[in-house]
Amino acid sequence: MRALVKTAAGPGLELTEVPTPEAGPGQVLIKVLRTGICGTDLHIDSWDDWAARVVRAPLVVGHEFAGEVVETGAGVSTVSVGDIVSGEGHLVCGTCRNCMAGRRHLCIRTIGLGVHTDGAFAEYVVLPESNVWVHRHEIDIDVAAIFDPFGNAVHTALSFPVLNEDVLITGAGPIGMMAAAVANHAGARSTVITDVSPYRLALAEKMGATVALDVSDRRIADVMPELGMTEGFDVGMEMSGRADALQDMIATMSPGGRIAALGLPTGDVSIDMATVVTRMLTLRGIYGREMFETWYAMSVLLRSGLDISPVITHRFGFEQYAEAFATARSGQCGKIVLDWTRPVLP
């Protein structure tokens, strides 16, 4: 089969032939239809310090996907040939304390699809049955391909109640945009999202943000009176991984405010602990999705009318992967989807 592979340590990926995997006991073989490009894939492609530490070549990359089940291994009972599925890319041990307690998203031995084991940028991928999400209702296959990052957005956005609350989101990347859409759909009084990219801020407004704020031009505090806010934001979602963004968020939270942090910083971050303590703020780290409560929430949100399709701005055939990766790096995009049924799209 054809697959996008990190063939050796160093920059670059190669579209090449590799053996087609087979479904073993408890596993499912999936024909990949669409994949989404994630920031993790960009790190692996460029071979930065993180990738050099974590990834071992050769490796089929990619973890955001949707496809059709074509084979099931012995013992599989909840997934059938012909099912349209997405996949949970965090593979957990099932035996640690958190797994045994039903908190699989906290597994201490989690490994990542397309990071530690062969992934989904390929014509076929194998997953354990327990990691396969079957779409029981009609869904746009492109949207199904981005359930992984959509799950990050839902997990973050619903970590704290947002009904009637003023919400601040720092970082208008695709996950931040989807979080704004979720918060708006869930009844937030106002949703302010910040960034410095005019393209992404405009798209965030289309996704439902009340205010899309260019922080290179205006301060967060400047928009608070316009929204009738006198004490600060009730809920914060830090999506950028920037130290200054988290610092600004802490400074503009109301007493008792709650912050969910998904963005991964590249270095040490200093925060004003005096403000955290005296305003009794809550800071919660978010990694991935709750398995599978977040997946249920995603499906329910879509069935109740939430539309995240505008976040998908570009589509490419799988042979156009170099152009797709370059577009992703440009920042002039939302989510990018690769079509594995067609080598080239017009």
Mean pLDDT along residues 78-82: 98
pLDDT tens digits, 212-252:
999 999 999 999 999 999 999 999 999 999 999 999 999 99
pLDDT at 267: 85
> In what helix (H) or strand (E) does residue 313 lie, and over which residues does it extend?
strand 312-317
Q: How far is CA 166 from CA 58, 175, 193, 210, 290, in A?
A: 46, 19, 11, 10, 24
pLDDT tens digits, 103-151:
999 999 999 999 999 999 999 999 999 999 999 999 999 999 999 999 9
pLDDT tens digits, 142-193:
999 999 999 999 999 999 999 999 999 999 999 999 999 999 999 999 999 9
pLDDT tens digits, 303-335:
999 999 999 999 999 999 999 999 999 999 999
| 99 annotated ligand-binding residue | yes
Question: Which of 193, 185, 190 is CA-nearest to residue 226?
Answer: 190
- Joined together, the tokens standing for residue 89 give 């890319």
Mean pLDDT along residues 287-305: 96
Domain spanning 2-146+308-339, CATH class = alpha beta
Share of the chain above pLDDT 90, in %: 98
| 73 annotated ligand-binding residue | no
pLDDT at 309: 98
pLDDT at 105: 94
pLDDT at 146: 98
Strands 90-91 and 64-72: unpaired
Residues identified as active-site: 40, 43
Mean pLDDT along residues 193-221: 97
Cis peptide leading into residue 21 (ω within 30°)? no
| 38 annotated ligand-binding residue | yes
| 96 annotated ligand-binding residue | yes
Residue 326: which residues within 8 A CB-CB, separation 6 or more? none
- Counting runs of H as helices and runs of E as strands, what totals does the chain give? 12, 18
Predicted TM-score (pTM) of the model is 0.96
For residue 148, give the 3-state DSSP assignment.
Answer: helix
Altogether, the residues listed in the chain come to a count of: 346
pLDDT at 253: 98
Gyration radius of the chain's alpha carbons: 20
Mean pLDDT along residues 298-304: 97
Alpha-carbon distance of 82 to 79, in angstroms, equals 9
Neighbours of 219 (CB within 10 A): 13
| 64 annotated ligand-binding residue | yes
The domain spans of the chain are 2-146+308-339, 154-285
Residue 266: pLDDT band (50, 70, 90) is confident
Predicted confidence (pLDDT) at residue 254 exceeds the cutoff of 90: yes
Alpha-carbon distance of 147 to 143, in angstroms, equals 7
DSSP structure string for 229-262: -SS-EEEEEE-S--HHHHHHHHHTEEEEEEEEE-
CATH number of this structure's domain 154-285, picked from the four choices 3.40.50.720, 2.60.40.1180, 3.30.950.10, 3.30.420.130: 3.40.50.720
Long-range contacts: 273-282, Cβ < 8 Å, 24+?
275/250, 275/251, 276/250, 279/253, 279/254, 279/255, 280/255, 280/256, 281/250, 281/253, 281/256, 281/257, 282/160, 282/257, 282/258
* Residue carrying structure tokens 């989404």: 36
